[in-house]
Amino acid sequence: MSEFTLYHNPRCSKSRQTLALLQDNGVEPEIVLYLDTPPNESELKSLLKKLGLSARDLLRKGEAAYKENGLSDTTLSEQALIDAMLAHPKLIERPIVVHGSRAVLGRPPENALELIGASSSR
């Protein structure tokens, strides 16, 4: 099993670029097709913690579900935003690369190099 996990959408160019970058650096991540097998609530909260982001920071604001569910409302709680991502996984920004207790968004894909460097320095 890989030490790296990639929350991946193969239709997304940044996600494909991040996967290629990992592979070019000798990393074969465990791939989670998060639209097919979305994270559950505890996994999503764990990802947010590892990323050091709020739920609002992880939302894809250009998705139809963002507008349809009124998620631009700044009075919505963290839990309400998490619930929206659980109901509509397309709202989760991608790709996410996880290594141990850390994670990064692959936007830009080069962000993943932080985790690869941390991995090789151990």
Neighbour tally for 63: CB within 10 Å? 16
Distance CA 52, CA 54 (A): 7
Dihedral pair phi/psi, residue 2, rounded to 5°: -75, 150
Beta-sheet strand order (sheet of 102-105): 30-33, 4-8, 96-99, 102-105
61 is catalytic: no
Of 12, 31, 76, 80, the active-site residue reads 12
The set of catalytic residues is 12
